[in-house]
């Protein structure tokens, strides 16, 4: 390391020279230690290693990073109707959960979903009425936590809004039309389109792995200058030829959004979704640093289950919110169609789709979920620290079972 080869020998030399002067030696030792610690604290590698050792990715990360506020309109709050607690069938109905690992018998929905341990929040809404709502651990009603990659699906919706407004001409536009600095980076950028980013078909050489402090994902998530990393990206496949999930695609997409709209990510999200949808609380989105202030559009939004359910409601109603078309219905319809014919249940415009069930969902690192099931007019949202199962599949199977048995819930 540079410290071993330059600074430590220099320190030894100067100490020998000042051996006759104890005061100067103590003074120099203090100054050297101060400079060394400053270097270590400002060095991105050491900062990222500290973050990984002391604070692995957590749903409390909103407290770790600098953030921007996603404002809401306190005078325009939308509230779902609530089924009285004594009528909530899922609170008391005993079920056998047999579709994940070892079967679990005679458990209520809450008992089963809380077996994963840790804090969690779960809400299921049908016909604009809350049919199930449960909180566990420190996550309380309207309590905020990091939704991780559910942020990607919200970012994709924002892209759809920008297309509707004409700020993005077409998702087949090249990324370099909006971020011209990338024309001087890897030559593949000049063939990379917005559609490729939305469908996870960028072809980037990138590792979606948090455990290694030097891998691409860790350096993006804990780093202090996301755009610098984007400009250094390399490609392993031609854009548009292969599906491969990675967070960097959405990181790039947020720069396209900001350049196209002319406003910061949090501002556009606030004005186009948080305020129009009547969110109950303001949210936050974490940033890479105070200096660069690049939003973690791929995994940094912090909010609650009730407000996320309104995102689900917007999707359920084909982009319409109480008579106002916020996202084009054609955009929403395309979200249900696999982006590549040979791939089933893959990303399409930022959302996972269930081709057979005609349902879609957004999924985060620890099982954060927005699940939209038009067949039964259902929206479900789950946030939490641990992941026991695929919560979208769980809700789908339970709702299907109740319908099959004719249980009114």
| Mean pLDDT along residues 38-52 | 47
Grouping H, G, I as helix, E, B as strand and the rest as coil, residue 377 is coil
Per-residue pLDDT reduced to its tens digit, 194-215: 999 999 999 999 988 876 777 8
In the prediction, which pLDDT does 179 show? 98
Q: Which residue has the tokens 């559009």?
A: 297
pLDDT at 163 over 90: yes
Per-residue pLDDT reduced to its tens digit, 273-306: 999 999 999 999 999 999 999 999 999 999 999 9
Q: Which residue has the tokens 């991105």?
A: 44
Rounded distance between C-alpha atoms, residue 231 and residue 221, angstroms: 16
Rounded distance between C-alpha atoms, residue 114 and residue 102, angstroms: 16
Per-residue pLDDT reduced to its tens digit, 357-389: 899 999 999 999 999 999 999 999 999 999 988
CA dihedral 106, 109, 113, 114 (to 10 degrees): -80
Per-residue pLDDT reduced to its tens digit, 334-352: 999 988 876 665 889 999 9
How many angstroms separate the Cα of 314 from the Cα of each of 249, 366, 402? 24, 24, 25
How does the average pLDDT of the chain come out, rounded? 88
Rounded distance between C-alpha atoms, residue 72 and residue 281, angstroms: 6
Beta strands in 143-276 (DSSP E): 145-146
The angle subtended at Cα 164 by Cα 159 and Cα 166, nearest 5°, is 95
The token pair at 112 is: 């089963």
Q: Which residue has the tokens 């997409």?
A: 253
Which of 48-62, 126-140, 167-181, 306-320 has the lowest average pLDDT?
48-62
Q: Which helix (H) or strand (E) holds 363?
A: strand 359-363
Beta strands in 71-181 (DSSP E): 81-82, 95-97, 104-107, 120-126, 129-136, 145-146
Name the DSSP class of 70: E
The pTM is what? 0.87
Q: Which helix (H) or strand (E) holds 380?
A: strand 378-384
Residues 6+ apart with CB under 8 A from 132: 88, 90, 91, 109, 122, 123, 124
In the prediction, which pLDDT does 117 show? 86
């Amino acid at each position: 390391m540079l410290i071993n080869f330059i600074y430590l020998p220099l320190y030894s030399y100067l100490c020998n020279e000042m051996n006759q002067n104890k005061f100067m030696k103590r003074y120099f030792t203090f100054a050297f230690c101060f400079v060394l610690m400053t270097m270590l604290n400002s060095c991105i590698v050491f900062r990222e290693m500290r973050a990984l050792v002391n604070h692995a990715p957590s749903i409390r990360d909103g407290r770790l990073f600098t953030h921007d506020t996603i404002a809401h309109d306190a005078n325009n709050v939308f509230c779902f109707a609530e089924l009285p607690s004594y009528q909530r069938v899922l609170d008391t109905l005993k079920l056998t959960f047999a579709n994940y690992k070892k079967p679990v018998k005679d458990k209520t929905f809450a008992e089963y979903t809380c077996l994963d341990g840790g804090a969690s929040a779960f809400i299921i809404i049908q016909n604009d009425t809350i049919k199930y709502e449960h909180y566990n651990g420190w996550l309380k009603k309207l309590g905020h936590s990091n939704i991780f990659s559910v942020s990607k699906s919200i970012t994709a919706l924002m892209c759809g809004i920008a297309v509707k407004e004409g700020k993005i001409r077409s998702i087949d536009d090249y990324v370099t039309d909006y971020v011209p600095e990338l024309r001087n980076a890897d030559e593949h950028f000049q063939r990379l389109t917005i559609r490729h980013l939305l469908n996870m078909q960028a072809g980037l050489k990138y590792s979606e792995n948090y455990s290694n402090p030097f891998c691409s994902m860790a350096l993006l998530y804990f780093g202090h200058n996301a755009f610098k990393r984007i400009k250094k990206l390399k490609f392993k496949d031609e854009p548009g030829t292969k599906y491969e999930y990675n967070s960097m695609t959405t990181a790039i997409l947020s720069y396209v959004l900001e350049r196209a709209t002319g406003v910061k990510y949090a501002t556009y999200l606030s004005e186009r979704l948080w305020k129009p949808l009547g969110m109950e609380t303001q949210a936050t989105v974490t940033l890479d640093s105070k200096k660069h202030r690049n939003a973690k559009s791929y995994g940094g939004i912090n909010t609650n289950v009730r407000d996320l359910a309104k995102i689900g409601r917007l999707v359920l109603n084909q982009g319409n919110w109480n008579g106002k078309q916020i996202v084009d219905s054609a955009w929403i319809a395309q979200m249900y169609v696999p982006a590549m014919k040979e791939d089933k249940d893959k990303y399409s415009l930022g959302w996972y789709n269930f081709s057979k069930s005609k349902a879609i969902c957004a999924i985060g690192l620890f099982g954060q979920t927005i699940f939209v099931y038009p067949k039964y007019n259902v929206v479900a949202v789950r946030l939490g620290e641990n992941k026991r199962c695929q919560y979208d599949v769980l809700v789908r199977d339970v709702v299907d079972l109740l319908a099959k048995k004719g249980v009114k819930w």
